[in-house]
Amino acid sequence: MVPFLVAALVLALLGGATVVVSESPIRAAGGLVTCCVGVSAAAAALSAPLMPGIVLWLGAGGIGLLLLAAVLLLNLSQEERGRRRVGVRGTLAGGVALAFAIVLLRAARSATALPSGITGSDVSAALGQSVAPALGVAVVALASAVVVTIALIRRRT
Partner 1 sequence: MMVSLPFAAGLLLFCMGLLTAAARRSFLVVLMGAAVAVLGAVLAMIAAALRHGSAVALASALVFLVLATAMVVAATATALATYRRRGTENLDELTELSG
Q: Which of residues 40-69 bind partner 1 (CB under 8 A)?
A: 42-43, 45-51, 54-55, 58-59, 62-64, 66-67
Minimum CB separation of residue 39 from partner 1 in Å reads 5
Shortest reach from residue 107's CB to partner 1, in Å: 6
Question: What does each C-alpha distance from 56 to 33, 42, 43, 72, 157 come to in angstroms?
Answer: 9, 11, 10, 21, 35
Interactions with partner 1, residue window 104-123 (CB under 8 A): 104-105, 107-108, 110-118, 122-123
Which residue in 28, 65, 77, 88 binds partner 1 (CB under 8 A)? Answer: 28
Q: Is 152 left (phi over 0), alpha (psi -120 to 50) or beta?
A: alpha
Size of the site for partner 1 (CB under 8 A): 93
Evaluate whether 33 touches 62 at the Cβ level (below 8 Å): no
- Quick check: 57 and 37 in contact, CB under 8 A? no
Q: Which amino acid is at 36?
A: C
Q: Does 7 sit near partner 1 (CB under 8 A)?
A: no
